[in-house]
Amino acid sequence: MDTTQLLKGVLDLTVLAVVDGEDAYGYDIVRKLRDSGLTDVGDASVYGTLRRLYAAGALTSYVVPSESGPHRKYYGITPAGQGQLKQQSEDWSHFSTTVTEILQGARA
Amino acid sequence: MTSTDAEANVAPEVRLFLAQVRRELADLDPEVLSDITDGLEADFTELVGERGPEALGDPVEYAKELRAAAGIPAGSAAPRGLAERVDGLLDAGHDRFDAAVAKLGELLRTDLGPVVAWLQPLWWIVRAWAAAWLVSAMFGWGVSSAPGVVLLIVAVAVSMFIGTGRVWPGGERGTGARVVLLGLNMFAAFVLFMSWAGGVLGSSAEYDRGWQDGYSEVTGVTGDGEPIGAREGVYSGGKTVTNIYPYDASGKPLTGVQLFDQNGKPIDVAVQPDCTSTVADPLPPAVPDEDGIITELCMDENTGESLQARIFYPWSNGAAQLYNVFPLPSRVQPTMDRDPNAFASDGAPAIQEPPLASVPKASLPGVATSSPSASPSASPSAAEKP
């Protein structure tokens, strides 16, 4: 099954969840998502999501200079972002439970 | 540009990819664009390190996906036209240059970033000089003339403003401006080459002379390194004058003209043997003079043998030798010494044919020109030696 469409719906949630643990830079987030099993997640989608969440005030960003190369841009979660994460997590739990039940009911 | 040092460590394919992505997003507000792409050098570098350059994918697709995820409406980007392709070429060229500098830096085990940054303003001055040189040459001004200097100052100022992006086409991101800038820079390089080639081939005589004059003014010496004031004789265009052929106002050659300077001092060309009109006849053995000294005359550059030379003889007023009466008579002879009885001998010194049979008439308003009498009062003769 093509998971691209499904991913779109949960990208905000997953990105917020990753950043909630500890501040991370874009590629770091991409890697964590992929390592967690979302192997089809597109790099550009993650960066676009970061941009949108940042513009919405859910994320904060800061630059960390590097001595050997270009600087890194880190993202951290804001209280607003934490609120959004909590809300969306609940929505997702409810949603996924509902979908799971429907699927189980259909089989039964 | 944030840091040249940091940028030097970014792989060229990353730089190229990022430049292409930025171009796809060019319709965005610059602040938003820099916000979105900020830090991507580092991330892409890591990505390439992990998954290889292929993982970067297609910049157009990447930009599209980024837009979609960020909720930015697709730009009014028309299908890629000529401007975009030219832009792409310029970006690629720039990235290739950066890559080459970075590679050279690695080879030399030094960071060339500061060197390049230092060379840039230097180039701004050099190209300004090229522009000033070209315009000066067109108007026939010397590079060191007053208008030439003013022009140079203005050109440097304009070039600096363009370089720092304050004056069009500097600092513009538009394709047209970039092409114009590239064209101007290449033209400047061409002009520099032409001025250099002109100087080397000697066709730019004005420049050479200007330089020589300037050099002489500064050091107070001639090309030989001898102080000007200490040199005898008459010089024209930096060359020794060996004889003078006067013409009257109607353009006819004159004979027996006595020349004096502004102080009434006779003008003496300090005649030297003229080795350029030597005759390569075999010479009788050199004869020591009264003091037993063998005076070397002209030497053949190839064989080192003595050659006969053209020796100039003075006019006379009966009492003294006059070297300020022109044209001076001369003859080709094997020794440097002037023979007191030369005019009585065979092959007496004679006045050579003037270089020009006649010259155009000359006039000065309100001045009546008079032709001197045809027969000179002084006549060539050998001076009596004591």
Contact B40 A49 (CB under 8 A): no
CB-CB neighbors (< 8 A) of A40 in chain B:
none
Which pLDDT value is given to residue A79?
94
B164-206: per-residue pLDDT in tens?
877 777 766 677 888 888 899 999 999 888 888 776 554 444 5
Q: Domain locations in chain B?
A: 4-111, 117-201, 232-386
Interface probe, candidates A43, A63, A67, chain B, greatest B C-beta count within 10 A: A43
pLDDT interval class at B123 (50, 70, 90) = very high
Which pLDDT value is given to residue B126?
92
Which pLDDT value is given to residue B222?
45
B132-165: per-residue pLDDT in tens?
888 888 887 776 778 888 888 999 999 988 888 7
The whole-angstrom distance between residue B268's C-alpha and the CA centroid of its chain comes to 35
Contact B42 A69 (CB under 8 A): yes
B355 secondary structure, DSSP code? S
ipTM over the 0.85 cut-off: yes
CB contact residues (below 8 A), chain A span 1-30, against chain B:
8, 11, 25-27, 30
What is the distance in angstroms between the CA of the first residue and the CA of the last residue of chain B? 88
Closest A-chain CA to B43: A27
pLDDT interval class at B294 (50, 70, 90) = very low
> Which of B164, B49, B117 is CA-nearest to residue A69?
B49
Which pLDDT value is given to residue B304?
60
B236 has pLDDT over 70 = yes
For residue B243, what are its two tokens? Answer: 């004889």
Which pLDDT value is given to residue B303?
61
Percent of chain B at pLDDT exceeding 70: 70
Min Cα separation B66/chain A (Å) = 5
**DSSP-derived pairing of the beta strands B306-312 and B274-279:** antiparallel
B323-369: per-residue pLDDT in tens?
888 888 888 777 777 777 788 877 788 888 888 888 888 888 888 77
Least confident of B7-11, B148-152, B314-318: B7-11
Q: Does residue B344 contact residue B382 with C-beta atoms inside 8 Å? A: yes
Which pLDDT value is given to residue B35?
85
Which pLDDT value is given to residue B366?
81
A46-80: per-residue pLDDT in tens?
999 999 999 999 999 999 887 777 889 999 999 99
Assess if CATH 1.10.10.10 describes domain A4-107. yes
Q: Does residue B206 contact residue B197 with C-beta atoms inside 8 Å? A: no
